[in-house]
Amino acid sequence: MSMKASNPVTKKGPMQDNRMSDKNYPVLKNTQSFLNLLKIYHRHEVYGMNNIPKSGAGILITNHSLATYDGFMLGLAIYEKTGRLVKGLGDRLLFKLPVIREYVSKIGLYNASMSTAHEILEQGEILALAPGGMREALRPSQKKYQIEWQDRTGFARLSLETQTPIILAACPKADEIFNVYKSPLTQIVYDKFKIPLPIFRGIGPSLIPRPVHLVHHIGEIIRPPLKENYSPEEFEKVIKNYHQRIVISMKKLMKKSLKYA
């Protein structure tokens, strides 16, 4: 299916989706072609697509591999099945690099901020987030299949504040695309400068991705607790409990997905 919709719906305002514009469409089309090649290469499959809402806002939460493109493959699969274009928040570093900033903006990524997330959801869109971020992506292969969301409660807060349901999507096998080595240098450079400097390999000694069979499992919708007149202390406790519930659900979904990959 082509990403060019016959009657693409765009919304006015600062968050207008310009991916279908004549200017950006060639970039989107080339990206789609590349992702389709990756889909064949990795024999990509998606289970649970019926859990993607047909309309209305949703927060799509995924694990974060070093390869990263598995998330874009999921976005394409969702579009092809439902016609919905997913909007994602990208690492701030991407938007500090001129050429990369222009590219990621054309394919539907936005500079990560809470205000941007709120605006996307207010427009009734699906917002994609990978709470583990670059830190999760850089973890060594000894920690593959693990999520690192312990202190990442922002997505739970966002869901509760906007009363937006969460949809979990797990693809643990994406951690096998590259073998990532533990390196003090990687950690030091990222902690100090927020610049990813992984030491990794793919097939043999090369950087060619391994042809791992990738399977995404999309879990059932998780609805946030109802907003009430909580005290600040009570509100933080509600967020903590909600976050914990989501983390437990994601860990179960990761295990489930490994059985089918």
Contact 135, 51 (CB under 8 A): no
CB 196 within 8 A of CB 190: yes
Dihedral over Cα of 11, 12, 16, 19: its sign: positive
**Tell me, which fold does domain 25-260 have in CATH?**
Glycerol-3-phosphate (1)-acyltransferase (3.40.1130)
Tens-digit pLDDT profile for the chain (261 aa)?
Answer: 444 433 333 344 445 565 656 567 788 889 999 999 999 999 999 999 999 999 999 999 999 999 999 999 999 999 999 999 999 998 887 888 788 888 888 888 898 889 999 999 999 999 999 999 999 999 999 999 999 999 999 999 999 999 999 999 999 999 999 999 999 999 999 999 888 999 999 999 999 999 999 999 999 999 999 988 889 999 999 999 999 999 999 999 999 999 876
Q: Which residue has the tokens 């450079």?
A: 189
